[in-house]
Amino acid sequence: MIPDMHGRRMCNVVDPIDVIEGISLETMHQNLYEGNLDAVGIERVKSGQVRLRKTDYPNDIPQCGTDALRLALCA
C-alpha cells in the first residue's frame, strides 16, 4: 500500500504508474471503467481524484519518472 501526502491509500486515488508517466484527470476517470469497481465505487474514487487535483495537482499530474517516485516514497 502506498499512501498519498494526506495518508490516504494511493491505489484508490492515483496509480503509481500514472505518477511515473504523468496523466490528466480525464484519463484517470476513463481508467476507472477498466477496473472492477461498481458504479458507487467509481463515483467515490472520482470525487477523490477531483479533490486531489484541485488541491494538489491543479495542472494534472506531470511526468516524474521512477527516480523521483522512489525518492518521494523514501522521504
pLDDT in tens, 18-62: 878 888 888 888 888 888 888 888 888 888 777 767 777 778 778
**What pLDDT does residue 3 have?**
66
Cα-Cα-Cα-Cα torsion 9, 55, 20, 24, nearest 10 degrees, comes to 110
Total domains present in the chain: 1
Q: Provide the domain limits for residue 47.
A: 10-74
**3-state secondary structure (DSSP) of residue 40:** helix
Task: Report the C-alpha dihedral over residues 49, 50, 51, 52, rounded to 10 degrees.
Answer: 50
Q: Give the type of residue at 51.
A: R
Q: Is there a domain that residue 2 lies in?
A: no
- How high is the pLDDT of residue 10? 59
Q: Is residue 68 part of a domain?
A: yes
